[in-house]
Structure 1
Amino acid sequence: MARARNLAVALAVIFLGVAPAVAAPVTIVALGDSLTAGYGLPPEDGFVAQLQRWLDARGAQATVLNAGVSGDTTAGGLARTDWALVPETRAMIVTLGGNDLLRGLPPEESRANLDAILDKADARDLPVLLVPMIAPANYGPDYKASFDAIYPDLAARHGARLGTPFLGPILSMPDQAAALRDYMQPDGLHPSSAGVAIIVEALGPEVVALIDEANGKAP
């Protein structure tokens, strides 16, 4: 009987020893402005909270940290990047530029700030999902072309992932009057809870790819 018990213990040790290791959750810092922070929404309805639930429901091993500050420009985001990137950070989502647009800041300033943020991510070898903002047409064709080019240019330069424009899933709807009514808050600038859900459906798979990259599973 004792011999049988010893054999059972030995077999358990062998099997436990060869069991595959479970990957630790990937800590993702979501650096952004009010769109990331969840302005105007209950905490459970904001972008980060809804994204976390979306990832959890699909078994993605990740923890998303909300580093969104309402009103932040790209300059503000740059100023706090170092302390936002806590030691356990393994990936980053950058969603900045909307407040630069609202202030009409020169696109070259936004480009320089985002470039510097990505430099900091590069220094830590962090994969990044860069989520674009899109300049409105009424800013004029030159401004729009210059601003809109920032995100694909910098993603290519830094090897970052270029995401779907944050408000793109809403602004691309054919009936814009209905889209603004059903998916945006009354200010017309921030998505409602239902709008965030649509945005998460679009960005979620891109975040999964980011997690895979952090785990060394994707090029």
Structure 2
Amino acid sequence: MHPLLIYIGSGWIFWGGVITLLVSCLSGIGAGKGWRLHLAQTAAVLGILQIALSSTPVPGWLWWLLLLATAGTMAALQFRYGKRRIVQGVFGAVILAAAVFELPYWLDGEPVAVRGRVRILADSISSGIGFAGERVWSVLLDEEHPGRIENRAVPGSRVSTSRRTLEQFRFCPGDVLVIELGGNDLLGGVPGAEFRRKLDGLLGVAASFDVPVLMFELPLPPFRSSYLRAQRELAAKYGVTLIPRRRFAAVLSGGGSTVDGLHLSNYGHGKMAAVVRRCLLFD
């Protein structure tokens, strides 16, 4: 997959925006009419644009504060406002608040203990597409832990169509559920509100089985933050452990990771197995 798409989809562009805004904030302090003024103005615009493109579900109140702080500092720079340092200080505080809000979602959680089997509810990323010699990531894990991996991934699955598959699982104490879904909903143009409603229903069923659940965050194109907001809010509601989207995006990144820009090659399956492996602790 193209590096620019990975940069955006993984959410790293959000941190690029934060750094660019901080550059604007620092270069704007005491800037006259020279290059520092132009740098501060350009960086402010580029920074806020990167955050907008990142599909990061920043709370509405914080997003408006960020926009107002950016506009305020632009005005202060343009009109040489006498208390520019105060404006820049407020600007910097709002930028850091956005960073502090997002940072916890980038940290890996503690590995989930597996005493039974790992059940996988997923789409073609995990089922594979059947090319000659394909070894999907679940097979790689099953070779390490024979008989303890059950892959029920179905090509083309959406959140809505996977609920019936989930209801057919027979969980035992010590089992763990891994969910890798949502890509087909995204590509199919499912509205964010509908995606949220369907995911709420799916995770509600998963919660009824009383087993630990891990779910991959989706790498996202610009302006689809409603998907990630739904995943994060519903994960908190049902006690689901999220695997950061940067992990999924890293699997798709680099030459040879996919066979068609999306579906995993054997190299990509190996990377996906490594991501899941680090999230689990087999007894």
Question: Is the structural similarity TM-score above 0.5?
Answer: yes
Residues of 1 paired with 2:132 and 2:244: CA distance? 24
Residue of structure 2 aligned with 1:119, choices 186, 204, 212: 204
Residue of structure 2 aligned with 1:38, choices 116, 121, 128: 128
The corresponding residue for 2:187 is 102
Which TM-score applies when normalising by structure 2? 0.54
SS of the residue 1:65 aligns to: strand
Residues of 2 paired with 1:129 and 1:66: CA distance? 14
The corresponding residue for 1:157 is 237
SS of the residue 1:80 aligns to: helix
- Measured on the aligned residues, the alpha-carbon RMSD in Å equals 2.4
The corresponding residue for 2:97 is none
Task: Report the CA distance shift for 1:102/1:63 in structure 2 as closer, same or farther (over 3 A).
Answer: same
Task: Report the CA distance shift for 1:207/1:115 in structure 2 as closer, same or farther (over 3 A).
Answer: farther
Cα deviation for residue 158 of structure 1 reads: 1.0
User: Quick check: 1:35–1:47 contact (8 Å CA) kept in 2?
Assistant: no
SS of the residue 1:93 aligns to: strand
Cα deviation for residue 26 of structure 1 reads: 1.0
- Identify unmatched segments of 5+ residues in structure 2: 1-113
Q: Does 1:182 align with 2:266?
A: no
Mapping for residues 1-219 of structure 1, pairs under 5 Å: 26-41=116-131, 45-53=135-143, 55-56=144-145, 63-83=148-168, 85-88=169-172, 90-137=175-222, 141=223, 144-165=224-245, 167-171=248-252, 173=253, 179=254, 181-185=255-259, 187-208=260-281
Query: Matched residue pairs, number?
Result: 168
Residues of 1 paired with 2:276 and 2:197: CA distance? 25
SS of the residue 2:130 aligns to: coil
Task: Report the CA distance shift for 1:146/1:49 in structure 2 as closer, same or farther (over 3 A).
Answer: same
User: Quick check: 1:164–1:203 contact (8 Å CA) kept in 2?
Assistant: no
Cα deviation for residue 132 of structure 1 reads: 1.7
User: Quick check: 2:216–2:248 contact (8 Å CA) kept in 1?
Assistant: no
Residues of 2 paired with 1:151 and 1:91: CA distance? 18
Residues of 2 paired with 1:87 and 1:125: CA distance? 9
User: Quick check: 2:134–2:266 contact (8 Å CA) kept in 1?
Assistant: no
Cα deviation for residue 151 of structure 1 reads: 1.9
Which letter does structure 2 place at the counterpart of 1:111?
R
The corresponding residue for 2:75 is none
Which TM-score applies when normalising by structure 1? 0.68
Cα deviation for residue 76 of structure 1 reads: 0.6
User: Quick check: 1:43–1:49 contact (8 Å CA) kept in 2?
Assistant: no
Residues of 1 paired with 2:172 and 2:208: CA distance? 15
- Identify unmatched segments of 5+ residues in structure 1: 1-23, 174-178, 213-219
